[in-house]
Structure 1
Amino acid sequence: MTIIQKEIASRVKDMREVCEMSVQQLAKKLDVDTETYMQYESGDVDIPASILYEISIIFNVDTSLLLTGEDTRMSSFAVTRKDKGVRVDRREAYDYELLASNFTHKAMEPFIVTVMPRNDNYIPEPNYHKGHEFVYVIEGQLRIYIKDNVIDLNEGDSIYFDSVNKHSMVAIGEKRAKFLDVLKGE
């Protein structure tokens, strides 16, 4: 577990407690079992971006507050210059760059995600969440597992899907995969 992972978990726990919601109530709203939620909140298990997004919707805060601890300020527009988005080092294999971190009350959460390839037959643990997701590959190749399907995407390819379906992603080929990932809650 990373320091960042612990800090995010602590902010989520603090938000839940401030809103006077029990662990069981929040787990139910997130459609995860209580034990899994408790692992998220303790920092023992990394909270998936999709779950963080759902938590932000439930508590009516921006995802960036949970990720960075900083409140948002912009309400008309937010400009993020190339490679200048807020970086969140949440998982060893994934690099997240928030593209609208300072915009308040977002209807969607855009990220640039960079994933390094693996040389084994690794299939990441699938996740699912309410809402929809859009992925556009900027560079490299990305393999997406969704339901019983395996879809390979190349540079310029995209996929839009209902995120309630279990899904996971992994870079394939020799170089990293970099992609735009947009989460939209219900």
Structure 2
Amino acid sequence: MGQYKEIAPRLTGLRESIGWTVREMAELLRVDETTVAGYETGTMEIPVGYLLDVSRLCRVDLTTLISGREPHLKSHALVRKGEGFAVDRRKDYDYKSLGYKFAGRQMEPFLITVPPKSGEAMTETSHHGQEFIYLLEGRLELRLGGEPLILEPGDSVYFDSSTPHAMRGLDGREARFIDVIL
């Protein structure tokens, strides 16, 4: 059972507590009703972009939405190496939240590991906001609006997250990077 099965009831409860129907939520988030229903029943894997959109729309902290726990630190939040909050919500990427302890975040920093895979196996996603990626290790293919960009360690890219994007590690190796989503 993936973590999205645990998040699904929180999505439903949040929507219902506000008083929105599935249709209203879908319209506000500009997604299909079947997508909202799939996420809320736990039958579909929930992209982090969707969770960010819901947290912003409903004014709920992303950490609370994912974990059910409230962050409490307001002046600073130190996260030591290996301490990131695991957001194991996608089969193909390993997400670790680096800002999960800080209340009232205006950006979402992640340490992400993407495995190698074929170009055909890349799955696109899109969501509201902007994104900044800084590659730490490996080589990364970022397909952005259908255009492949190859990043080497030390390279960075800033882009509009509503542009369909997909990623994969190259050369048979994982790629690790910092991803900040606004």
Deviation at 1:133, TM superposition (A): 0.7
Deviation at 1:123, TM superposition (A): 3.9
Q: Are residue 183 (structure 1) and residue 177 (structure 2) matched? A: no
Quick one: distance in 2 between partners of 1:134 and 1:124? Answer: 19
**Identical columns (%):** 37
Q: Are residue 48 (structure 1) and residue 50 (structure 2) matched? A: no
* Among 137, 140, 146, the residue aligned to 2:138: 140
Quick one: distance in 1 between partners of 2:136 and 2:103? Answer: 26
Deviation at 1:23, TM superposition (A): 1.0
Residues 61 and 105 in structure 1, CA contact (< 8 A), matched pair in contact too: no
Q: Are residue 122 (structure 1) and residue 116 (structure 2) matched? A: no
Instruction: Give per-residue Cα distances to partners, 1:53-78, cap 9 Å, x unaligned.
Output: 11111111111111111111011211
Residues 97 and 112 in structure 1, CA contact (< 8 A), matched pair in contact too: yes
Cα RMSD of the aligned pairs, angstroms, is 1.3
Deviation at 1:174, TM superposition (A): 2.3
* 2:166 alignment counterpart: 168
- Counterpart mapping for 1:1-186 below 5 A: 2-118=1-117, 120-184=118-182
Quick one: distance in 2 between partners of 1:172 and 1:129? Answer: 24
Q: Which runs of 5+ in 1 are unaligned?
A: none
* Secondary structure, aligned partner of 1:40: helix
Quick one: distance in 1 between partners of 2:94 and 2:43? Answer: 19
Q: What residue identity is the alignment partner of 1:4?
A: Q
The alignment's TM-score, normalised by the length of structure 2, stands at 0.94
* Secondary structure, aligned partner of 2:36: helix
| Ranges of 4+ aligned residues in structure 1 off by more than 6 Å | none
Quick one: distance in 1 between partners of 2:88 and 2:164? Answer: 23
The alignment's TM-score, normalised by the length of structure 1, stands at 0.92
Q: What residue identity is the alignment partner of 2:131?
A: E
* Secondary structure, aligned partner of 2:104: coil
* Secondary structure, aligned partner of 1:122: helix
Q: Which runs of 5+ in 2 are unaligned?
A: none
Quick one: distance in 1 between partners of 2:67 and 2:26? Answer: 22
Count of matched residue positions in the alignment of Structure 1 and Structure 2: 182
